[in-house]
């Protein structure tokens, strides 16, 4: 029986040839003495170390049957090096490989990491059997090379060789992503033509293929059409539903499986427990736990680990601990599950405590352990502990592991040390696209535009191919007026990479242009998109509003609805923001009502904050305060902050003080709140209160963030603060400002000194506003760029009234367009006017 199975497995041979070969083989083996037998271990396979001794002892006397046995054992042990020496022995001894030897050699190379060598051998072999083709197709599938597997499958049919069930199972396993769903469907048609639609093994492979390709509906159709189903069929379907986010369907399938009296396997239980975890269905999870207790898997470490994970995801930490503690043997995966559960639920101290207990119990951490516990350190205040983990992992030899290095970069950057993150990156012996993307992405998060862009350029120079996440990260970094030129370079790279059809990338591209103040470029990207989603429309509406084109934003919102796109909560934040920038109070009230009435969207803190801002900026301060006090949510600092900012504009001390009091209870260290209240006092001439507030800030250790403006000239970003004297061209900058001031005054400019927060005379106040950071940046742009060139600057705080007025005059005098982004919105200055209509 064993011989028969072996011959059938190795080639297409008849029953008669099997019988003949068996008799010959038995006759031959009966004449062998015991010393010629191949040494084998307990499982019937020889130890790889014994192979070379056997070959050396037998020399050229090794025959084809022995070679096959030796090579099969190398495949079993995944020992390519020894397998290659067996192959060399075959060639050296002049043995002409038959179909059995060749197929086993193909399996050795294809499944032990050298699929290219397998292909070279395959192409040279003239007497290929179906098994030969199956081995190669399976090898490609095993390596994730779907294109090569499908090409070979197609070539096999062109050679007029009929695929068998093993061919179909192999090629279906290669189709494992949505990108190759069409190939999977083609293979399904061939299965039907081959009359294998009722084969349970092939049916199971089809269910798995459709699930991995993201078409659970097709997987279900195959399942329902199967003439017979086994435990694998049911388990594959439960897993397909669970992995695709259809937890309820997974559980329904499981219960139907029980009704059909099919015994669940370990994998079945793991699938449905995963579904319970994703649904946070604790009671259903407990029911399945009860089933497991009654099954043969009650003490299985994998099933118990899945139970632990389910309880963790459901927030039942006590139950999770009970399952974990009951394990007679806890492997590293079980410990990792506990640590990950605590990290995901924000219980970071518990995560660290579990990690140290794991060490105390003598369980060696693996890469997953370290990356998980590092993620618990990836936060402000986690740096010291993160360095300890780094040192321990270095002792365990993980410093050369790429994925561990990527986790270190992420940890250090999120813990506030970009310097350490860069050092880790620079010392990595090998980097992948994730390494580069993580680094430049964190630079982007920290607003280090230059570092993010230069890292991206270095990545391309070193031949690393960027992926869509890379482009989205670097586009985020370039979402600043000073980086528009670089953003356009990235746009060109996106076109080269063929990613303009990717919706997420084009949305990021459009967002970048809006945040650079280049509205027309953003609209061109939008108009060129063949497909749009709600994020696309939200980006368009929000971007237009931020750039002072609120009416156009509202018009686009109407177009969005007319094209059948349903607004979501984020859409209404953008719509209300557009109403705010245009001072459309009634329209804001109307849209706020429509949100819940027409679309069933419950207003969030952001929506209420927008309404407060709309009302307060329009001067309806008491109504805005009433909204805050009567909403069904706990008022946030953003709501009170919006009211406080409006009180500064309208110089209302009474309401401003109340708003400031609420704000400071919620954010006592927010320096901007103190500054806003100081400005209100200063505008009202209440200098004693300004002094008291300044003293109070000092006592609390609150430091005001200095106003800072940036401008990019010739690839270099220049930074300025008020009355800055550090720039190499300071004298020219101040001279330019002096000239401009005289020209502005001749046109009627009067410095606005109301919000100078020092008790100075009029001349002192004028000097204080004359050299604000944005004026210095604009002046430097004027002396450093050709006439007529637009000037783009950004500022970390809201632009003051005097700078706003002065910039309008400068745009008229110099005939330059000046685009300025402050902490809240864009201002497009042109011919003495601003896009905000002096309402900001």
Give the chain's mean pLDDT. 89
Task: Judge whether 693 and 746 are in contact, CB under 8 Å.
Answer: no
Which helix (H) or strand (E) segment holds residue 820: the answer is strand 818-821
Mean of pLDDT values over 711-717? 92
Note the pLDDT of residue 277: 95
For 618-682, what is the HEC assignment? CCCHHHHHHHHHHCCCCCCHHHHHHHHHHHHHHCCHHHHHHHHHHHHHHCCCCHHHHHHHHHHHH
Q: Is the pLDDT of residue 458 over 50?
A: yes
The distance in angstroms from the start CA to the end CA of the chain is 87
Residue 491: Cβ within 10 Å count: 19
Q: Is the pLDDT of residue 15 over 60?
A: no
Helix or strand or coil: residue 364? coil
DSSP states along 399-460: TT-HHHHHHHHHHHHHTT-HHHHHHHHHH-SS--HHHHHHHHHHHHHTT-HHHHHHHHHHHH
Q: Is the pLDDT of residue 27 over 70?
A: no
Spatial distance between the Cα atoms of 766 and 771, rounded to a whole number of angstroms: 9
Q: What is the pLDDT of residues 626-680, one digit of tens each?
A: 999 999 999 999 999 999 999 988 989 999 999 999 999 999 989 888 888 988 9
Q: Is the pLDDT of residue 8 over 70?
A: no
Q: Is the pLDDT of residue 568 over 90?
A: yes
Q: Is the pLDDT of residue 39 over 70?
A: no
753: its two tokens: 């000194």
Backbone angles phi, psi at 637, to 5 degrees: -65, -35
Spatial distance between the Cα atoms of 583 and 548, rounded to a whole number of angstroms: 11
Handedness of CA 266, 272, 274, 277 (dihedral sign): negative
Spatial distance between the Cα atoms of 735 and 753, rounded to a whole number of angstroms: 22
Spatial distance between the Cα atoms of 102 and 110, rounded to a whole number of angstroms: 12
Note the pLDDT of residue 432: 95
Mean of pLDDT values over 83-92? 86
Spatial distance between the Cα atoms of 749 and 768, rounded to a whole number of angstroms: 16
Mean of pLDDT values over 504-510? 96
Q: Is the pLDDT of residue 532 over 90?
A: yes
- Which residues lie below 8 Å from residue 644, measured CB to CB, with a gap of 6+? 656, 659, 660, 663, 673, 676, 677
Mean of pLDDT values over 198-213? 93
Note the pLDDT of residue 290: 96
Residue 162: Cβ within 10 Å count: 10
| pLDDT grade for 219, boundaries at 50, 70 and 90 | very high
Q: What is the pLDDT of residues 277-331, one digit of tens each?
A: 999 999 999 999 999 999 999 889 999 999 999 999 999 999 999 999 998 889 9
Mean of pLDDT values over 7-36? 41
Helix or strand or coil: residue 791? strand
Encode 708-747: b = buried (16+ Cβ within 10 Å), e = exposed: bbbbbeeeeebebebebeebeeeeebbebbeebbeebeee
Q: Is the pLDDT of residue 688 over 60?
A: yes
Q: Locate the domains of the chain by residue range.
A: 1-31, 36-127, 351-430, 628-704, 712-834
Which of the listed ranges 31-35, 79-83, 699-703, 718-722 does the model predict with the highest average pLDDT?
718-722
Closest CA to 311 of 266, 281, 339: 281
Backbone angles phi, psi at 133, to 5 degrees: -65, -40
Q: Is the pLDDT of residue 683 over 60?
A: yes
Handedness of CA 507, 513, 519, 525 (dihedral sign): negative
Which helix (H) or strand (E) segment holds residue 303: the answer is helix 301-313
Note the pLDDT of residue 71: 85
Q: What is the pLDDT of residues 750-793, one digit of tens each?
A: 988 776 655 555 666 677 678 899 999 999 999 999 999 999 99
Spatial distance between the Cα atoms of 489 and 487, rounded to a whole number of angstroms: 5
Closest CA to 324 of 374, 363, 295, 368: 363
Encode 606-630: b = buried (16+ Cβ within 10 Å), e = exposed: bbbbbbbbbbbbbebbeebbebbee
Using alpha carbons, list the distances in angstroms from residue 48 to 78, 175, 321, 420: 10, 34, 43, 45
Q: What is the pLDDT of residues 128-162, one digit of tens each?
A: 889 999 999 999 898 888 899 999 999 998 888 88
Q: Is the pLDDT of residue 18 over 50?
A: no
Q: Which position has the higher pLDDT, 100 or 508?
A: 508
């Amino acid at each position: 029986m064993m011989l028969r199975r072996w011959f059938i497995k190795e080639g297409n041979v008849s029953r008669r040839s099997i019988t003949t070969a068996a008799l010959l083989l038995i006759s031959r083996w009966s004449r062998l003495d015991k010393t010629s037998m191949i040494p084998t271990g307990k499982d019937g396979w020889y130890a790889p170390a014994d192979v070379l001794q056997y070959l050396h002892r037998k020399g050229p006397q090794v025959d084809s049957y022995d070679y096959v046995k030796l090579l099969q054992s190398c495949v079993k042990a995944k020992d390519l090096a020894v397998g290659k020496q067996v192959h060399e022995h075959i060639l050296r001894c002049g043995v002409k490989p038959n179909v059995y030897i060749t197929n086993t050699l193909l399996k050795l190379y294809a499944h032990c990491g050298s699929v290219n060598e397998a292909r070279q051998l395959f192409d040279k072999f003239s007497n290929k059997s179906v098994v030969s083709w199956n081995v190669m197709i399976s090898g490609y599938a095993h390596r994730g090379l779907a294109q090569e597997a499908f090409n070979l499958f197609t070539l096999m049919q062109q050679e007029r060789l009929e695929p068998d069930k093993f061919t179909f199972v192999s090629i279906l396993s290669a189709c494992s992503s949505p990108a190759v769903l069409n190939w999977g469907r083609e293979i399904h048609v061939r299965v039907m033509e081959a009359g294998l639609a009722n084969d349970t093994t092939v049916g199971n492979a089809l269910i798995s293929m459709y699930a991995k390709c993201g078409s659970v509906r097709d997987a279900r159709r195959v399942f329902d059409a199967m003439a017979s189903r086994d435990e694998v069929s049911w388990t594959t379907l439960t897993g397909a539903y669970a992995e695709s986010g259809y937890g309820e369907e997974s559980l329904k399938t499981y219960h139907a499986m029980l009704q059909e009296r099919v015994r669940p396997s370990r994998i079945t239980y793991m699938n449905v427990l995963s579904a319970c975890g994703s649904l946070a269905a604790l009671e259903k999870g407990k029911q399945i736990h009860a089933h497991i207790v009654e099954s043969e898997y009650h003490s299985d470490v994998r099933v118990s680990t899945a139970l632990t994970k389910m309880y963790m995801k459901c927030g039942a930490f006590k139950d999770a601990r009970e399952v974990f503690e009951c394990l007679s043997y806890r492997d590293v995966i079980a410990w990792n599950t506990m640590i990950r559960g605590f990290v995901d639920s924000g219980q970071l101290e518990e995560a660290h405590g579990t990690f140290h207990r794991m060490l105390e119990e003598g369980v060696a951490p693996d890469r997953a352990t370290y990356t998980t516990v590092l993620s618990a350190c990836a936060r402000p205040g986690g740096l010291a502990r993160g360095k300890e983990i780094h040192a321990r992992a270095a002792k365990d030899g993980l410093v050369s592991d790429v994925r561990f290095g990527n986790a270190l970069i992420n940890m250090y950057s999120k813990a506030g040390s970009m310097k350490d993150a860069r050092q880790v990156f620079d010392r990595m012996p090998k980097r992948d696209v994730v390494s580069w993307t993580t680094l430049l992405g964190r630079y982007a998060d920290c607003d280090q535009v230059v570092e993010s862009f230069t890292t991206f350029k270095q990545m391309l120079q070193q031949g690393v191919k960027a992926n869509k996440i890379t482009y989205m990260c670097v586009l985020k970094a370039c979402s600043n007026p000073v980086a528009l030129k670089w953003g356009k370079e990235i746009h060109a790279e996106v076109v080269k990479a063929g990613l303009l059809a990717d919706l997420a990338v084009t949305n990021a591209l459009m967002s970048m242009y809006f945040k650079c103040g280049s509205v027309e470029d953003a609209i061109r990207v939008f108009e060129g998109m063949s497909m749009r989603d709600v994020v696309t429309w939200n980006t368009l509406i929000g971007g237009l509003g931020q750039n002072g084109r609120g009416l156009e934003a509202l018009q686009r919102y109407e177009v969005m609805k007319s094209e059948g796109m349903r607004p979501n909560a984020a859409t209404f934040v953008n719509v209300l923001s557009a109403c705010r920038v245009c001072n459309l109070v009634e329209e804001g009230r109307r849209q706020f009502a429509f949100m819940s009435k027409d679309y069933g969207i419950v207003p969030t803190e952001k929506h209420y904050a927008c309404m407060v801002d709309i009302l307060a900026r329009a001067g309806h301060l008491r109504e805005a305060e009433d909204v805050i006090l009567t909403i069904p949510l706990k008022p946030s600092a953003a709501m009170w902050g919006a009211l406080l900012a409006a009180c500064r504009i309208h110089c209302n001390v009474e309401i401003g003080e109340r708003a400031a009091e609420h704000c400071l209870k919620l954010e006592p260290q927010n320096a901007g709140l103190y500054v806003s209240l100081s400005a209100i006092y200063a505008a009202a001439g209440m200098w004693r209160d300004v002094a008291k507030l300044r003293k109070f800030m000092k006592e609390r250790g609150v430091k005001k963030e200095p106003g800072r403006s940036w401008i990019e000239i010739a690839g270099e970003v220049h930074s300025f603060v008020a009355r800055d004297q550090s720039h190499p061209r300071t004298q020219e900058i101040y001279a330019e400002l002096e000239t401009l001031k005289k020209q502005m005054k001749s046109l009627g400019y009067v410095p606005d000194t109301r919000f100078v927060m020092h008790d100075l005379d009029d001349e002192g106040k004028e000097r204080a506003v004359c050299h604000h950071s944005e004026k210095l940046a604009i002046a430097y742009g004027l002396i450093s760029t050709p006439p007529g060139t637009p000037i783009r600057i950004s500022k970390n705080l809201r632009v003051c009234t005097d700078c706003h007025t002065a910039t309008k005059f400068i745009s008229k005098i110099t005939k330059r367009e000046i685009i300025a982004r402050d902490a809240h919105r864009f201002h497009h200055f042109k011919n003495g006017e601003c896009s905000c209509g002096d309402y900001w």
